[in-house]
């Protein structure tokens, strides 16, 4: 008899655990979870409604990482929910058949390049902060149903939203939910992140000190970068280094470590005077038309201009393989 009671108790516990595991839970996902720096695309943040659902008047608030809104001229790219044919259009949808959800960009502006700060879910007020709200206008979202916020919705003609122009590690997405329409939003804990990956190599960037001492070892910094100057990872091409002017001990070729788009190159100037160096590689690059083509020439290589000194320093840039120069004394 005792064995029968124990067996029954074990069965009841197992049933309770199974029912608990089957209950839908509050989740957040983003798809896709990455973008290519500066490229246009579409990203969907989906929230699975938890216990209690979302009543009419309730809403979801979503905030992407700041880097995903940074644009040119130290400005933010405008997000908007008013013109479905324009860039950076935001839409929102609910999975319930009797539910209508509308998207709203908080503090939306008509400015193409945004300079003004806006408040975020994390209490910061910055120009790169954008909060999107998915408002439940009618109907009730039940647990297990979803709210989708679409960044760069292209269904009505928009070309999408521009990804971050800076390559990043995975960054968190902030989400808050108002379940009953009171205007009080509770943070949603989740693990969804967005990552911005560098584009294909567009040029080589070669930098070094502007003033050297003859006979003393020094280092050059060489990187393969995309059109937004992010290190292009991976970069598998062999780079040829050439001395155009001066007396320098310099490796003839350089290869990048796996998973890296940059490296350091040791070199030693042997005599006083101007040193001009060139880095050349055969690689895929973007042509002005935006199409990829195999380039038989050099990827553009540049060094930044440096202030003249008593012993002289200079640099120059050419479209098909610029010559960097430095000086020794």
Mean pLDDT, residues 124-136 taken together: 97
The CA angle 68-159-154, to the nearest 5 degrees, is 95
Same domain, 189 and 216: no
Same domain, 175 and 153: yes
Q: What is the pLDDT of residues 282-297, one digit of tens each?
A: 744 333 333 332 222 2
pLDDT at 29 over 90: yes
Instruction: Strand 218-225: give its sheet, edge to edge.
Output: 248-249, 262-269, 218-225, 203-207, 300-302
Helix (H) / strand (E) containing 235: none
Mean pLDDT, residues 38-43 taken together: 97
Same domain, 55 and 142: yes
DSSP label of 231: B
pLDDT at 91 over 70: yes
Is there a contact between 298 and 319 (Cβ–Cβ < 8 Å)? no
Among candidate residues 197, 231, 257, the one where a domain is terminated: 197
Among candidate residues 197, 232, 260, the one where a domain is terminated: 197
CA distance 273 to 243: 13
Same domain, 183 and 69: yes
pLDDT band at 208 (very low <50, low <70, confident <90, very high): confident
Same domain, 29 and 172: yes
Helix (H) / strand (E) containing 174: strand 174-178
- Within 8 A by CB and 6+ apart from 263, the residues are 222, 223, 254, 256, 257
Report the percentage of the chain scoring pLDDT > 90.
62
pLDDT at 20 over 90: no
CATH number at 55 reads 2.60.40
List of long-range contacts for 95-98, beta carbons under 8 Å, 24+ apart: 95/141, 95/145, 95/146, 95/147, 95/148, 96/139, 96/140, 96/141, 96/142, 96/145, 98/138, 98/139, 98/140
Number of folded domains that form the chain: 2
Has residue 17 been placed in a domain?
Answer: no
CATH number at 282 reads 2.60.40.10
pLDDT at 323 over 60: no
Same domain, 47 and 119: yes
Is there a contact between 107 and 69 (Cβ–Cβ < 8 Å)? no
Has residue 34 been placed in a domain?
Answer: yes
CA distance 78 to 47: 24
Same domain, 209 and 174: no
Same domain, 185 and 222: no
CA distance 218 to 144: 61
297 is in which domain, residue-wise?
203-328
Has residue 147 been placed in a domain?
Answer: yes
Mean pLDDT, residues 89-107 taken together: 96
Mean pLDDT (the chain, rounded):
81
Among candidate residues 159, 181, 197, the one where a domain is terminated: 197
List 120's β-bridge partners, or say none.
Answer: none
pLDDT at res. 5: 42
Residue 247 CB-density burial (10 A; 0-12 exposed, 13-18 middle, 19+ buried): middle
Q: Which of 30, 18, 94 is nearest to 58 (CA)?
A: 94
Of the spans 10-19, 65-74, 181-190, 228-237, which averages the highest pLDDT?
181-190
Report the percentage of the chain scoring pLDDT > 70.
78
CA distance 7 to 3: 6
């Amino acid at each position: 008899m005792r064995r029968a009671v124990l067996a029954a108790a074990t069965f009841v516990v197992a049933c309770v655990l199974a029912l608990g595991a089957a209950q839908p839970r509050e989740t957040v996902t983003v798809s896709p979870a990455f973008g290519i720096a500066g490229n246009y695309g579409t990203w969907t943040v989906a929230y699975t409604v938890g216990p209690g659902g979302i009543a009419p008047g309730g809403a979801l608030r979503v905030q992407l990482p700041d880097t995903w809104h940074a644009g040119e001229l130290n400005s933010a790219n405008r997000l908007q929910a008013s013109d479905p044919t324009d860039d950076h259009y935001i839409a929102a949808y609910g999975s319930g058949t009797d539910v209508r959800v509308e998207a709203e960009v908080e503090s939306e502006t008509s400015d193409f390049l945004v300079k003004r700060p806006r408040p975020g879910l994390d209490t910061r007020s910055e120009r790169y902060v954008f909060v999107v709200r998915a408002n439940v206008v009618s109907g009730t979202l039940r647990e297990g149903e979803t709210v989708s916020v679409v960044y760069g919705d292209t269904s009505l003609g928009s070309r999408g939203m521009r990804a971050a122009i800076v390559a990043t590690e995975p960054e968190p997405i902030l989400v808050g939910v108002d379940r009953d329409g009171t205007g009080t939003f509770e943070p949603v804990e989740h693990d969804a992140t967005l990552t911005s990956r560098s584009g294909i190599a567009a040029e080589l960037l070669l930098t070094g000190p502007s003033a050297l001492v003859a006979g003393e070892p020094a280092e050059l910094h060489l990187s393969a970068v995309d059109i937004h100057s992010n290190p292009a990872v991976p970069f598998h091409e062999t780079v040829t280094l050439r001395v155009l002017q001066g007396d320098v001990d310099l490796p003839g070729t350089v290869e990048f470590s796996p998973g890296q788009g940059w490296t350091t190159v040791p070199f030693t100037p042997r005599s006083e005077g101007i040193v001009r160096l060139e880095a050349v590689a055969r690689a895929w690059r973007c042509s002005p038309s935006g199409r990829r083509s195999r380039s038989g020439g050099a990827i553009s290589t540049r060094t930044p201009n440096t202030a003249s000194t008593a012993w002289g320093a200079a640099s120059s840039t050419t479209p098909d393989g610029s010559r960097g120069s430095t000086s020794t004394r």
